[in-house]
Structures are given as structure tokens and as C-alpha cells.
Amino acid sequence: MRIALFTETFLPKVDGIVTRLKHTVEHLQRQGHQVQVFCPDYGLTEYQDASIYGISAFPLPLYPELKMALPRPSIGVELRRFKPDIVHVVNPAVVGLSGVYYAKRYGVPLMASYHTHLPEYLKHYGLGALEPLMWNLIKNVHNRAKLNLCTSSVMVQALESHGIERVDLWQRGVDTETFRPDLASREMRDRLSQGQPDAPLLLYVGRLSAEKEIERIKPVLASIPDARLALVGNGPNREALEAHFADTKTHFVGYLHGEELGAAYASADAFVFPSRTETLGLVLLEAMAAGCPVVAANSGGIPDIVTDGINGFMFDPADETGAIVATRKLLANPASREMLRRSARGEAERWGWSAATQQLVGFYAQVIGDVAIAA
């Protein structure tokens, strides 16, 4: 099968979408399929033997790590040269619109997937009034696809409730080899806590941006004597967050990768995740795979991953003290915390990338078959 994958973001950028896509590309190639990635130009020409067609792009002023590539005729020329069996557009916004256009023009079956809950993001940037318009745009683009995939059951329901058709669930996946409990080390605790490895250690991993609501971790940190907080990642809100946490025991670690990131998860006492805009929350699965108990907002796709009191704790995001109560409860009972660690790892072990990719191949075949029958 020849698959043209259009995405607004790809390696070397680090986020949940890129994590899913890089594992998907790797497993598709392993299974004998041929993938070509169409994305903003980040300097790469191939990944895991899949070719990357980089499109000239410019960094967004408020988020330099994210690049915008405008549609251009050369994309259509390259797509015709590749001769795909299917076009898969991921979060179609700019580059993805080229995929939608050329798939229709050349009669190639089109599938789309939804990974970023943009209507919810608008509220965190003072643009909540534009939410109905955003949903109309999303509906207009996604309803051109033969199938639309979401990464959590909550997002399936959200899209269907806004008039988006032919929606299905793309199962979660996590790298249980890179993220595992035996990577825990005192050396990593020392690094994350800035020389205080015996102190309670809270962890956040992900994009440092407004919609993640990281500032809501500050009251949690203040409520636990001697606790330290490590924020792993980067993003446009880092400077504001550094000012917000200036009077606390918070360490801005920057990016970590591979087993070093796995060691960070495994070495922390609790992974605190206040975001209410997650379509899934892939970092939660990574933390759980590493045996790190999670405390997360009961919102978005998170309930698909976390079972309250079994493999982590959830809190009501509308309750200002909810995260405080849940985190203190987690840290207060070492025996209970150990049970949560084991249960979290057990849940993660159910979701490998190979199975998720095999399911995706089935969706591709379904879309190609439907188009062939219609033709």
C-alpha cells in the first residue's frame, strides 16, 4: 500500500502528534507499506526509509517551533509522482488542505484524523467567540473524507455532535520498551529536583503553552511541604511560566528524549497533568508505562486512559482544590502508590504501536475498498 501522509507538524518537533506519527510511519514501513510524508520543511528528507517531502515554511511569530507551509502546485506534482493508494490528512489546516484538494483532483481516496482540539484551544487565547466558526471549518474539511479517525471515544462523540460524519476510533499506542519502570534512578531524581532527591517530586511533560494550564500546578506544589516540580519540555509560554513559578521550587528541564525521558517518568513520584483540552493525552500513557502514577483532569480523552483510583487519580477540573486533594492522597500512602504504579504499567502494556498501526491499515483498506466499489 502506498500512503501519502499530510501533516502540519513532524520531526524533529516534539509533541504527541509527532510521537504517534513517527511510530506509525515506522510500523507501516516495517509491514512493507510505502509512506511519503508531506509536511513543513524541518530539514529531514527521510525517516525509517519513508521519504519526507518538506515544503518551504516560516515559523509562527508566537510559536517559533511550529512552522507554517502554504499550499503550492509543487505539492500536486510530487503527489502525482508518488502515486498513492490513499491520502491521509492529519489535523488538516494548511498543508492538509493541499492533501484534501489534490486527493479530490486526482481521484485518490481520502482519510482524515483529528488530534488537536482546536475549538477548546481558542478559549485559552481569548478567542472563544470564534468557536462556532472553527467547528464549521472543521466540519467542512473533515466531511470531505471517506473516514475520520479520533484518538479517544470522547472526541468521537464531540465530532459527531458537531455534524462530522463517518467517525471511528483509532486506538491508542505507547512505546513500552522506551518507557518502563526499571529506568528509575536516584541520579535522575537528583537532576530533576536540583539536588534534592529525597523530596517529593512532581513531574509535568509536554508542551509549555497556554492551553495546557500548567500554572494550575502551582497551588498543588505549594500544598506539599518540601515538594519539587520538574517541567520537561518547551513552548511559547515558557517565559510566562518561569515568571509564574519564580518563587517556587520548580526546575525547567527543557527537552528530554528516549530512555532519558523514560527515566524522568520512572523516577518521579507523581505526574500532574491539569490540561482540559486533550484529545487523548499521550504523555499520560508514557508516564503510566514507566510506572509513574498520574493525577489528571477528568476531561477530554483522559478518562479513556485513566481509571480513577485504579491506575491513577482524576479530579474535577472545575474544582480549584481537586488537583491538590488528589496529589496529596497519592503521596500520602506509599503502599497505594505502588499498587497504582503496577496497575498503570499493566494498562500501558495493553497498547502497543504495532496493534494500533495494524488497525490503521485496516481502516486504509476499508476506505480504498469503499471508493473502489463506488467507482
Condensed to tens digits (0 to 9), the pLDDT of residues 188-237 reads 999 999 999 999 999 999 999 988 999 999 999 999 999 999 999 999 99
Answer yes or no: is pLDDT of 372 > 70. Answer: no
Using the predicted structure, report yes or no on whether residue 154 has a pLDDT greater than 50. yes
Highest averaged pLDDT of the listed ranges 148-152, 176-180, 261-265, 354-358 = 261-265
Q: With CA atoms as reference, report the closest residue to 60 among 235, 242, 278, 238.
A: 235
Q: Which CA distances in Å does 3 have to 34, 85, 148, 340, 363?
A: 6, 6, 16, 40, 12
Task: Residue 21: name the closest of 108, 113, 119 by CA.
Answer: 113
pTM for the model: 0.78
User: How much is the pLDDT for 119?
Assistant: 63
What per-residue confidence (pLDDT) applies to 147? 97
Instruction: Sketch the domain layout of the chain as residue ranges.
Output: 2-173+352-374, 181-348
Domain pair 2-173+352-374 / 181-348, same fold: yes
Mean pLDDT confidence for 117-123: 67
Residue 168 has pLDDT above 70, yes or no: yes
Q: Please determine, for residue 300, whether its predicted confidence score (pLDDT) is greater than 90.
A: no
Taking alpha carbons only, the member of 136, 167, 144 closest to residue 154 is: 167
Please give the mean pLDDT across all residues of the chain: 92
* CATH H superfamily, domain 2-173+352-374: Glycogen Phosphorylase B; (3.40.50.2000)
Query: Cβ atoms within 10 A of the Cβ of 206, count?
Result: 23
CATH class of this structure's domain 181-348: alpha beta
Least reliable range by pLDDT among 118-122, 147-151, 203-207, 242-246:
118-122
